[in-house]
Amino acid sequence: MKYVGSIDQGTSSTRFIIFNESGDIVAVSQKEHKQYFPEPGWVEHDPMEIWSCTCDVIADCLKSSPLSASDLSSVGITNQRETTVVWNSETGEPYYNAVVWNDARTASIAKSLEGKYGPDRFRAKTGLPLASYFSATKLLWLMENVKGLKEGLKSGKAKFGTIDSWLMYNLTGGVDGGIHITSVCNASRTLMMNLETLQWDDDILKILDVPKECLPKIVSNSEVYGVGAKGGYLDNVPLAGILGDQQAAMFGQTCYAPGEVKSTYGTGNFVLMNTGTSQCKSTNGLLTTVGYKLGDQEVVYALEGAVAYCGSVVQWLRDNLKIIQDAPQSQTFAENVDDNGGMYFVPAFAGLFAPRWRSDARGCFVGMTAYNTRDHVCRAALEAAAYQCKEVVDAMVKDSGVDLAAMKVDGGMTANTLLMQFQADMLDCPVYRPVVPETTALGAAYAAGLAVGVWSGLDEIKKNWKCDKQWESKMEAPVREKYWTEWNRAVSKSLGWVEGGDGSSEKQGSGWGKVVAFAAIAAGVGFMMGHKRR
Ligand SMILES: Nc1ncnc2c1ncn2[C@@H]1O[C@H](COP(=O)(O)OP(=O)(O)O)[C@@H](O)[C@H]1O
Ligand SMILES: O=P(O)(O)OC[C@H](O)CO
């Protein structure tokens, strides 16, 4: 039997999981790290803590299993995306805390770039809007605010990277010969990579005044990059796969054919559609991004939609409204009633993300009468996840011209079978949940195993995917239409609540500017939910 390890470095915790050739979990270890909120809307992680958590989970996982590092054919990395680290290559020390993907401090930088260059100059090359969500704005902030950094970056002493780069540098020895790389799908989230050439874009670097010397080398998602450093927990183990976490989930879900879609229901909801080897430019509020690139093979692109409030709404019912004691109870209560009793809940707690991008929206319950109970509130909250996902999927269908044949789902909220049935009903297509729920870690393991021949190719991997449960659409079309119409009416009530808000149309051109709200909202989720994610 062959084994592959996977480091899953997420926003709130780090896991190390060992998989066997069948893609089954053999051993797992997990550790949370601290979230820092030095100012409202700011979110930081300590890169040294992330590195030490990574070492700890590898050590613990190996200790808890009969395996040792030398039994691992290879190890892959999957990571929270966009989060930005800068470090001193002479000391191996970070210059500053990691600025996390959901940190809003750079909203004004994004806005001013948009004012100067328009929304399209960057999007045309990178597939992304100008927003604080993406790494380049974070790097610009660091360059302006950290003493000596600008000079360090220019001289090559200081290095920039996303979390994959930081971990790979340390895993391969740090100051003693650590390598400086990033995977192409992580690079595609920086606002600095050209989606066509898959290289750093000189025009953009010039505009931003970012020296190329500080940037990591862009590598494929599956190849042997190096081996674990001597004396480390992964001594001499090939490090052979890197994927951003949402792309890793798509890979682990074996969405290898154009048109295949995965939807991850965790804190937020991230839907990715494989769009094949040509880019699908969104005109409906989605991101164009790199899905994966295996060694020398052609790149595969994806369309992505991100929804901020998903499982976090259930945590809000538990922690703030205190109407449920735990997440599964949301289903128990929702099942007490036949339907939503005419009420809808739009969880736009700090605006709406994909595909609407409305920072002026706020959360609302609408359609309530004295008939409604706690059970309807639970039902409306769960239904909201399905409606928001449908909005993204509809945008994907419009952008790609591909009808959804089925959707693969993963994430903690897929334990909620009422939601999964309702999702199938609203999408009017089957929804499949796999046996192995850790699709993110599995995706990185597959990438790493492919590079060293554990699996011969995607066809072999595809055979590992097994369905745990599936839901078929059972809803009559007129009922679906009624719900959909009412949901859209409910959303219209949530819009424009923030006075002086953008009040923009839903056109992508103007709406993209409001993506900056993403960070603020996500940061808000962190504050509100006490930063517990997994
Ligand atoms: N049975 C359930 N019903 C509804 N929501 C659930 C259920 N179980 C877990 N969740 C939600 O799923 C989320 C955790 O899922 P997970 O995939 O671990 O998220 P993340 O990786 O973003 O931390 C939490 O927000 C939790 O409220
Ligand atoms: O670490 P997660 O699961 O919260 O994912 C975060 C995303 O990668 C942000 O783009």
**What pLDDT does 111 receive?**
86
Top-confidence residue, 197 or 515: 197
Which has the minimum average pLDDT: 341-350, 369-378, 483-492?
341-350
Say if 3-246 and 259-441+461-499+514-534 have the same CATH topology: yes
Distance separating alpha carbons of residues 444 and 249, to the nearest angstrom: 8
Per-residue confidence band for 412, with pLDDT thresholds at 50, 70 and 90: confident
DSSP string, 84-146: EEEEETTT--BSSPEEPTT--TTHHHHHHHHHHHTTHHHHHHHS--S-TTSHHHHHHHHHHHS
Closest atom of ligand 2 to 9 CA is: 1
413, 418, 423, 436: residue to mutate for ligand 1 pocket, most atoms within 8 A of CB: 413
Q: Whose CA is nearest to atom 4 of ligand 2?
A: 11
Band (pLDDT 50/70/90 cuts) for residue 339 is very high
CATH pick for 259-441+461-499+514-534 out of 3.30.420.40, 3.40.50.1370, 1.20.120.1200, 3.30.1280.10? 3.30.420.40
Q: What pLDDT, on a 0 to 100 scale, did the predictor assign at position 532? A: 28
Question: Which pLDDT value is given to residue 350?
Answer: 64
| Residue pLDDT, tens place only, 125-138 | 999 988 888 999 99
pLDDT of residue 450: 98
pLDDT of 403 above 60: yes
Average pLDDT over residues 345-349: 90
Mean pLDDT of 498-526: 39
Average pLDDT over residues 210-221: 97
Compute the average pLDDT of residues 13-39. Answer: 93
Q: DSSP characters for 386-419?
A: HHHHHHHHHHHHHHH-PPP--EEEESGGGG-HHH
**Ligand 1 test: best mutation among 314, 389, 528, 534, most atoms within 8 Å of CB?**
314
**Whole-number percent of the chain with pLDDT over 70:** 93
Structure tokens at 28: 């797992």
Where are the domains positioned within the chain? Answer: 3-246, 259-441+461-499+514-534
CA 79 to centroid of ligand 2, rounded, Å: 8
Q: Give yes or no for residue 305 having a pLDDT over 80.
A: yes
Q: Whose CA is nearest to atom 24 of ligand 1?
A: 311
Between the CA of 81 and the centroid of ligand 2 the distance, in Å, is: 6
Rounded to the nearest angstrom, the distance between the alpha carbon of 411 and the centre of ligand 1 is 7
Nearest ligand to residue 163 Cα: 2
Q: Is the pLDDT of residue 362 over 90?
A: no
Question: Which atom belonging to ligand 1 lies closest to the Cα atom of 331?
Answer: 3
Question: At the topology level of CATH, where does 3-246 sit?
Answer: Nucleotidyltransferase; domain 5 (3.30.420)
Residues with Cβ within 6 A of ligand 2?
10-11, 80-82, 101, 244-246, 266-267
**Which pLDDT tens digit goes with each residue over 287-304?**
999 999 999 999 999 999
Give pLDDT, residue 527.
Answer: 29
